[in-house]
Amino acid sequence: LVARTLLSRRVTAPVAAIIQSARAVSSGDLEQHVPEKSGISELDSLGQAFNHMVASLKRADQTQNAFVADVAHELRTPLTVIKGTVETLEDGAMDDLEGRGPLLTSMQRETDRLIRLVNNLLILTRADAGMLKLDIKPLDLSELCRQRRDQFAGMAEKQNIRLVVNNGKPCPVSGDVDRLTQVLDNLLNNALRYSPNGSVIRIDITTREKMCRCAIRDAGPGIPAEHLPRIFDRFYRVESSRSKRGGEAGLGLAIVRALIEAHGGEVFVESQTGEGTTVGFSLPIAPDLTVN
């Protein structure tokens, strides 16, 4: 009887602690931690699983809070500019035909920036919820890359930069042409932003292990190794010339990852400081498809 009572206490005490902590977590308290060394393997496993769950919830909560703070910060800047411009116009600048032009141009620029930010956030939110609608059709990724190269040729020429596509063979994949165009445009915009005048941006399309691999390499300043694991994170900026030029919100590469993963593909980045950066993605080859 004594042994049974002692065993009961050894079991009920940690179970009661887990129940109490679970109630606290359900109320929003994520600072809970239960014992993992009761001497009963099943309870220890339960305690470890519980602590792991709470730690994951805490990380998710911190990530969400940081995301909300970043969104608020990015929204505040264009809204402040728009508000200030409107107030200036109301104070009499509207009647100044010569002076109101730059003010209206500034307001239009900030409005466009705001719309762009909201649209990008919508894409990421839908991707998180698994609600990103894709119009999947057969397409030739090599041809799409050549089309985007031609589209960006004028912009590149202004910087005396050459855009080169290294692949003459079709690479059939299943994808949403509009979304993959958005991916390529984001990557090419980044490459142009950080490439020095007179350099070359190479778009290499290769096949490897039943995957079609698209790599865009610039000749820019490169990215320090410690930043590479987070380069596709939302709002993440490298504290170097790569982040200070362009003034974007830091969502471009996050969108690239979301869209490529929605296609069943993977993203990658390779870079060394002072030696340029290669950013790209891989998509499953669809060898039985006939592309237009």
SS3 90: helix
Cα(133)–Cα(98) distance, rounded to whole angstroms?
46
pLDDT tens-digit readout, 157-173? 999 999 999 876 889 99
Residues 77, 106 contacting (CB under 8 angstroms): no
pLDDT in the model for residue 240: 43
Q: Residues with Cβ < 8 Å from 285, sequence gap 6 or more?
A: 171, 172, 173, 207, 210, 211, 212
Q: Which of 288, 285, 290, 292 is nearest to 171 (CA)?
A: 285
Largest CA distance in the chain: 97
Residue 110 has pLDDT above 70, yes or no: yes
- Prediction pTM value: 0.72
| Residue % of the chain over a pLDDT of 70 | 85
Residues 214, 281 contacting (CB under 8 angstroms): yes
Taking the CA atoms of the chain, what radius of gyration do you get in angstroms?
A: 26
Cα(64)–Cα(71) distance, rounded to whole angstroms?
10
Q: Which of 151, 147, 188 is nearest to 291 (CA)?
A: 147
Cα(119)–Cα(173) distance, rounded to whole angstroms?
26
Cα(186)–Cα(199) distance, rounded to whole angstroms?
19
pLDDT tens-digit readout, 52-85? 888 888 877 776 777 677 777 777 777 887 888 8
pLDDT tens-digit readout, 90-108? 777 666 666 677 878 888 8
pLDDT tens-digit readout, 210-244? 899 999 999 999 998 888 988 898 877 775 444 44
pLDDT in the model for residue 242: 42
The arithmetic mean of pLDDT across residues 16-26, rounded, is: 82
Burial (0-12, 13-18, 19+ Cβ within 10 Å), 172? buried
Q: Residues with Cβ < 8 Å from 149, sequence gap 6 or more?
A: 163, 164, 165, 188, 203
Residues 217, 165 contacting (CB under 8 angstroms): no
Q: Which of 177-191, 239-253, 262-276 has the lowest mean pLDDT?
A: 239-253
Residues in the chain: 292
The arithmetic mean of pLDDT across residues 22-43, rounded, is: 79
Residue 132 has pLDDT above 80, yes or no: yes
* Average pLDDT along the chain: 82
pLDDT in the model for residue 199: 94
